[in-house]
Amino acid sequence: MSKAVIAIHGGAGAITRAQLSPEKELLYIKALSEIVEAGQALLEAGGTALDAVTEAVRMLEECPLFNAGIGAVFTHDGTHELDACIMDGNTLEAGAVAGVSHIRNPILAARQVLEHSPHVLLIGKGAENFAEQHGLEPVSPDLFFTQQRWDQLQSARANQQTVLDHDGGDPIDPGTKFGTVGAVALDKYGNLAAATSTGGMTNKLPGRVGDSPIIGAGCYANNANVAVSCTGTGEVFMKTLAAYDIAALMEYGGLSLHQATERVVMEKLPALQGSGGVIAIDSEGNVALPFNSEGMYRGYGFVGDAPSVGIYQSQEG
C-alpha cells in the first residue's frame, strides 16, 4: 500500500510580496489548505487518485481567486472559453474539453469524456452537448463573471496586450499570471492521476487553446513513472510537451523526479522564453513543485500530515 499524497496548484507568475497584501495572501493560503485537506480526506477514506484530483480541481474551479471556472478570464470578445483535462495513470485513459462556455465545472465534463466517450478531447458546442447528455446542467456564462477579470480585460484591450494572469500588481489584476489550476495524486493502491483546468489568457483570441487540455503538454499521468500538471506560458508547454517530457526523462533517461522536473522547468522551458511551473508526484510518492517564476500558488499533503502550502520561492510547499 502506498503512502497516499495529493498536490495542487493555482497558477504561477511574478507574485511579489510587495504586490500581495497580507489579507489577500491569507485568502490564498486558506483556500489552498482547504482544498489539499479535502483531497487528503478523500484519499484517506480509500478514494482513488482520479477521484481526488477531480474533486480538488472542481473546488479550484469554484474559487474565484483562481482563473478556472468561476473567476475565469475573458477573451478579446468579452466571452469565456474554458479548458480542462484529466488522466488516469492506471489505465492511461484520458478526457478533455476545450473552448466551453456553458459548463460550470469543465473538469467534471472532462471526467465524463474519460469515462463515457471513445474520444479524448471534445471542443465547443459538441463538448457542451456531451456534458449535458451525461447529467451536467448547462449554465449561463454570466456565472463566471467577476469584476476584477472584467477590469483586467479592459486594461489589456487598452494596452493591446494578451495577458497571462498573476504577474504585476495585485495577483488577480493585469499582468502575466499563468492562470491555470491543477492537481496530481497518488492513492493507497499505487495509482497516479492528474488534472488541469483553466480560463486561458486575458484578451486571448476566441478559439485559442493552450496546453491545459492537451495530454502530454499540460497534463499527464502514468503509473509507471509520474503524474504532472503544468501552469505557465501555454504555447511553450505545448511546443516542449512539458508534462510528457518529464515522464520520458524518467523512463528513458533514468532521471529522478527531482532531476526530470528541474531539467524541464529550469532549462528547457526558459530556453524558449517559457515561464511557469509544474506539480508532480512519482510512483513512489515523491513530490516536486518547481517553478521558474517568482511565485506559484501551490500545496501538497500526505495522508495523515498537515498540508504544506506556499506562494513564493522561499516558502514551503
Q: How far apart are CA 111 and CA 117, in angstroms?
A: 10
Establish if 56 belongs to a structural domain. yes
Give me the residue label for grid cell 508547454: 237
User: Are the CB atoms for 303 and 3 separated by under 8 Å?
Assistant: yes
Is residue 312 in a domain? no
**How far is 216 from 302, CA to CA, in rounded Å?**
25
**pLDDT tens-digit readout, 246-262:** 999 999 999 999 999 99
How many helices (H) and strands (E) are present in the chain, helices listed first?
9, 12
The pLDDT, as a whole number, for residue 152 is: 82
Question: How many domains are there within the chain?
Answer: 1
Q: In angstroms, rounded to a whole number, what is the distance separating the alpha carbons of residues 102 and 207?
A: 15
Q: Which residues are catalytic?
A: 180
C-beta separation of 175 from 14 below 8 A: yes
The whole-number pLDDT of residue 160 equals 73
- Residue 210 annotated as lining a ligand binding site: yes
Residues of the chain with pLDDT under 50: 166-175
User: Is position 309 within any domain?
Assistant: no
- d(CA 174, CA 202) in angstroms, rounded, equals 8
Burial of 139 (0-12, 13-18, 19+ CB in 10 A): middle
Could you give the CA distance from residue 28 to residue 12 in angstroms, rounded to a whole number?
A: 13
Is residue 317 in a domain? no
Q: What pLDDT, on a 0 to 100 scale, did the predictor assign at position 171? A: 43
| Per-residue model confidence as pLDDT tens digits over 82-112 | 999 999 999 999 999 999 999 999 999 999 9
Please list, residue by residue across 103-120, b when 16 or more beta carbons sit within 10 angstroms of its beta carbon and e when fewer do.
Answer: bbbbbbbbbbbbeeeeeb
The answer to the question of residue 308 being in a domain is: no
Domain contains 314: no
The total number of residues written for the chain in this structure: 317
Residue 234 assigned ligand-binding role: yes
The one-letter amino acid at 121: L
| 49: its cell numbers | 487518485
Which grid coordinates are listed for 242?
512539458
Question: Is 135 within any annotated ligand binding site?
Answer: no
60 conformational bin, left if phi > 0, alpha if psi -120 to 50, beta if neither: alpha
Q: Write out the DSSP string of 119-148.
A: -SEEEHHHHHHHHHHTT--B--GGGG--HH
Q: What are phi and psi of 184, to 5 degrees?
A: -135, 150
Q: How far is CA 210 from the centre of its chain?
A: 12
Grid cell for residue 138: 448547462
Q: Is residue 283 part of a domain?
A: yes
- pLDDT above 70 covers what percent of the chain? 93
Nearest CA-CA partner of 57 in 35, 73, 72? 35
pLDDT of residue 48: 98
Instruction: Work out the angle at residue 72's Cα, subtended by the Cα atoms of residues 71 and 77, and round it to the nearest 5 degrees.
Output: 125
- Structural domain harbouring 54: 5-301
- pTM score: 0.93
> How many C-beta atoms surround the C-beta of residue 124 within 10 A?
14
Q: State yes or no: 208 annotated in a binding site.
A: yes
Q: Look at residue 173 in the predicted model and tell me its pLDDT.
A: 39
CATH of residue 276: 3.60.20.30
